[in-house]
Chain A
């Protein structure tokens, strides 16, 4: 058993609409793994299958060594799920919620209270512990939701879009909590629509589009796959820009009077491009180099996936 979470050829469709098309995943012990994809990519479906809430139409998945279909109970004992929509009980206080979860995890009354208080402290909710959750901010709810998933010290944690809908400050709070968790050695599968989030939190990222993994690797590997980046040339006036755009293909920006040409930042590529301009008698004011961002990676990968359909 090399993977803590392993999915092979997972299939799922709803009334003829295929949501997962042979999804494969392999996540190692202690890894923080991000499933990155736009709305409707199939992230929640994948997480629900792995967390035993949904049965796949085909394929197999094992979590913490147990099959998610035939050994659901053993899987549930090892995992914890924080769903896409905060599952907090508005009418209970934060402390009551955690004590309840701890009792459902078979902790005794005293142990349950101690665990609840520890978690409230850890997620910075001690001051609000006796207030009803209805009065909590979005970030506090999410943190409580995370805490509720941790009463049993799970080996595997599923976080479905843990920061969607949160303001930037709350997002950073949740990030800090996840980073903290990762340090404690738990295996985390999180889903997100934000590249920045995957980049910040995950050791490895799988880009999911239309129910298929279209790319997988570390953030750096994915960026490298996106190609080379661009060289942006700036010109003194519009006629020069127009002339330049006839000599080489690139993205014209009339406001900035610039032309973006694909190319890595190597001295060779820059010299070639400038030589071309000089040969055509075009004056270049200055230039900028653009490294590829994860956003570009994402766009290029998902575009490719779309073309493949």
Chain B
């Protein structure tokens, strides 16, 4: 299983590098969004600190959504073309193909996140967290991306066609807008604020923000870890179940 997973990870990475449009969406779009928020909207938003410092964690979480959309489509394409039949006719656990998609998805996210951070630093992002805090950032992000990627795989297994599978990105891209990613939730009307404060993206972003800027993390850290772990568990178990159902002989 491990060996086959490695083979499929190799396949997933090669796919990632070669599907140019997906790569552009996953890697270049986040940078564009960063610049857009900082230079176009940023001037009109007051958050108490430099807006760039405020918005970087939100952009990074937004990227995870773009990257995951490609994962849903990739998984669904494998399921709806003859590809999965060929893998299933081999004496291996064909579900290992999902691991390839998920790892490639996380890898794409790592690349786009690094790129966003580099660009942010170039235009004046000044984080204050020490090395331990940055390890924390990496840990939370990896957990979040892994969870989102497994959920994306579930969506790919549920959808009937690749076009439908692509809709996953709408859900994941929408959540950051209804969170503290771009504006503090305190500025929102009460109803929206209730949603924003209690949805998973807000604690993740607040945790990242606290760690990066050296501010307090509070109970956001625990909530972020619980949400992300929940995503991973639900994603893995769900994907295993859906894969079995979809490929039931």
| Contact status of A86 and B82, CB under 8 A, knowing A91-B14, A103-B7, A104-B7 | yes
Residues of B within 8 A of A (CB-CB), count: 22
Chain B residue contacts of A69, Cβ below 8 A: 249
State whether the Cβ of A148 lies closer than 8 Å to any Cβ in chain B: yes
Across the interface, which residues of A come within 8 angstroms of B7, CB to CB?
100, 103-104
Q: Which residue of A lies closest to B17 (CB)?
A: A91
Q: Which of A79, A84, A89 contacts B89 (CB 8 A)?
A: A79
Cross-chain contact A104 with B85 (CB below 8 angstroms): no
Q: Are A100 and B86 in contact (CB under 8 A)?
A: no
> Which of B81, B89, B91, B92 has the largest count of A CB atoms less than 10 A from its CB?
B89
The residue in B3, B18, B85, B88 that gathers the most chain A C-beta atoms within 10 A of its C-beta is B85
Can you name the residue of chain A whose Cβ is closest to the Cβ of B74?
A91
A76 touches B89 (CB 8 A): yes
Q: Which residues of B contact A106 (CB under 8 A)?
A: 3
A81 and B18: CB pair below 8 A? no
Residues of A78-111 contacting chain B, CB below 8 A: 79-87, 89, 91-92, 96, 100, 103-106
A132 within 8 A of B: yes
Measured CB to CB, the closest approach of chain B to A79, in angstroms, equals: 7
Which residues of B in the span 9-49 have a Cβ within 8 Å of any Cβ on A? Answer: 10-11, 14-15, 18-19
Residue on A nearest B84 in the bound complex, by CB: A87
Q: Does A55 contact B (CB under 8 A)?
A: yes
Residue contact B249 to A53, C-beta cutoff 8 Å: yes
Asked if A51 is at the interface of the complex by the 8 Å CB criterion, the answer is yes
Query: Is B87 in contact with chain A by the CB < 8 A criterion?
Result: yes
Q: How far is the CB of A98 from chain B (nearest CB, A)?
A: 12
Closest to A69 in B: B249
CA distance A74 to B14 in the complex (A): 31
Whether a CB of chain A sits under 8 angstroms from the CB of B171 is: no
Cβ of A163 under 8 Å from chain B: no
B197 within 8 A of A: no
Query: Chain B residues with Cβ under 8 A from A92's Cβ?
Result: 11, 14-15, 18
A148 touches B86 (CB 8 A): yes
- Could you list some 13 contacts between A and B, CB below 8 A? A51-B89, A52-B89, A69-B249, A77-B91, A79-B89, A83-B86, A84-B82, A85-B81, A85-B82, A87-B83, A91-B18, A104-B4, A132-B18
